[in-house]
């Protein structure tokens, strides 16, 4: 129910943004709230008491410490950056130990990708493929996490990285001994492989013909000339996100909720097609009418900015 409310709120915001007049009216309403109203929202969002003053200033579009500090770390993290971490659970220990047969210095149990600044995409057992803040990805992990970057990944690839990260959202999580990329499921390192394959970049050491584990990315980080460790370079950005996780969650929400809304609308269109096909099979509508209706839905789908992994033409 809460997620449905978020979808509705996001839809309302995007509708308002489509009109300059409505955007200005919405902004004026938000900025015109009383301290009590703003503080209520802060408590709902879980903003710490010591960051309440910053939150008020952010809501009102005033100068604040969050924005000043953000300007110092802006663009340190880049789409396609790979975060390697080791969980502090029994399962993570099993994964890490098992990988040493393939690479003796393997130490990572999880791989996440930067989708956009401060927003990651990864595959988790309980969530499938989803967006999470970098602060969430690095919660409850052992010290020694690192961030690596593909040297061949340039600005000309950023759109493809962004689209690929969105493409795989909501894929179910499965660990299968698949040598080839899985079409309808993902686990963490396998998701990273699929995103990099989507970019078309070759010669970066990511195999397309064998089972891929997080330890392979440790090997790339340690030995492959097309990968560099940028942990120290990006650490200020990650520390900033860890310092302000709730405020960062609010600043990135429009992107995350927007993609969720895109995905929800896509699922609704899929359901409509199934209903039309079912109606046609029961002779509730003619086959010609069904084809016409499905064609119109497909045409809408083809105009969408985002396609998803279970999209069919």
Give tens-digit pLDDT for 275-284. 999 999 999 9
Q: Give the tens place of pLDDT for each residue, 182-206.
A: 899 999 999 999 999 999 999 999 9
Note the pLDDT of residue 31: 74
Q: Hey, which residues does 132 pair with through a beta bridge?
A: 120
Q: What is the DSSP string of 6-17?
A: HHHHHHHHHHHH
Q: Hey, which residues does 110 pair with through a beta bridge?
A: 85
Helix 245-281 vs helix 231-243: crossing angle, to nearest 10: 90
Q: What is the DSSP string of 76-93?
A: SS-TT-EEEE-BSSHHHH
What integer best gives the mean pLDDT of the chain?
89
Tokens coding 44: 């709902």
CA distance 112 to 214: 10
Long-range contacts of 296-300 (CB under 8 A, 24+ apart): 297/269, 297/272, 297/273, 300/269
pTM for the model stands at: 0.86
Q: What is the DSSP string of 26-78?
A: HHHHHHT--HHHHHHHHHHHT--GGGHHHHHHHHTT---HHHHHHHHHTTSS-
Q: Give the tens place of pLDDT for each residue, 76-135.
A: 999 999 999 999 888 888 899 889 888 999 999 999 999 999 999 999 998 999 999 999
Sequence-ordered list of residues with C-beta below 8 angstroms from that of 159, at least 6 positions apart, any chain = none
Give Cα separations from 41 to 45, 54, 154 (angstroms).
6, 13, 40
Residue where the block lists tokens 């650490």: 235
Q: In terms of pLDDT, which residue wins out, 8 or 174?
A: 174
pLDDT band with cut points at 50, 70 and 90 for residue 57:
very high
Q: Hey, which residues does 114 pair with through a beta bridge?
A: 120
pLDDT band with cut points at 50, 70 and 90 for residue 3:
low
How big is the CA angle at 72 (ends 70 and 73), to the nearest 5 degrees? 70
Residue where the block lists tokens 């969430």: 136
Q: Which of 122, 138, 11 is nearest to 85 (CA)?
A: 138
């Amino acid at each position: 129910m809460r997620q449905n409310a978020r979808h509705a709120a996001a839809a309302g915001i995007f509708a308002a943004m489509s009109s300059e007049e409505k955007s200005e009216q919405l902004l004026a309403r938000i900025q015109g709230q009383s301290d009590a109203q703003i503080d209520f929202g802060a408590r709902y969002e879980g903003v710490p008491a010591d960051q309440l003053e910053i939150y008020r200033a952010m809501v009102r579009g005033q100068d604040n410490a969050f924005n000043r500090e953000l300007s110092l770390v802006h663009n340190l993290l880049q789409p396609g950056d790979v975060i390697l971490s080791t969980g502090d659970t029994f399962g993570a220990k099993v994964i890490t130990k098992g990988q040493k047969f393939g690479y003796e210095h393997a130490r990572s149990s999880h791989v996440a990708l930067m989708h956009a600044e401060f927003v990651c995409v990864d595959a988790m057992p309980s969530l499938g493929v989803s967006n999470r803040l970098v602060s969430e990805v690095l919660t409850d992990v052992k010290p020694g996490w690192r961030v690596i970057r593909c040297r061949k990944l340039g600005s000309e690839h950023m759109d493809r990285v962004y689209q690929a990260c969105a493409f795989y959202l909501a894929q179910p999580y499965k660990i299968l001994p698949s040598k080839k990329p899985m079409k309808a499921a993902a686990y963490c390192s396998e998701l990273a492989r699929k995103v990099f394959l989507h970019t078309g970049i070759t010669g970066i050491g990511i195999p397309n013909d064998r089972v891929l584990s997080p330890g392979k990315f440790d090997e790339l980080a340690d030995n492959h000339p097309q990968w560099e460790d940028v942990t120290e370079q990006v650490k200020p950005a990650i520390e900033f996100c860890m310092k302000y996780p709730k405020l960062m969650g609010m600043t990135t929400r429009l992107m995350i909720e927007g993609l969720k809304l895109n995905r929800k609308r896509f699922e609704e269109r899929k359901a409509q097609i199934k209903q039309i096909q079912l109606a046609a099979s029961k002779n509730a509508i003619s086959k010609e009418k069904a084809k016409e209706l499905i064609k119109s839905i497909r045409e809408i789908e083809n105009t969408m900015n985002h396609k998803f992994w279970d999209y069919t033409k």
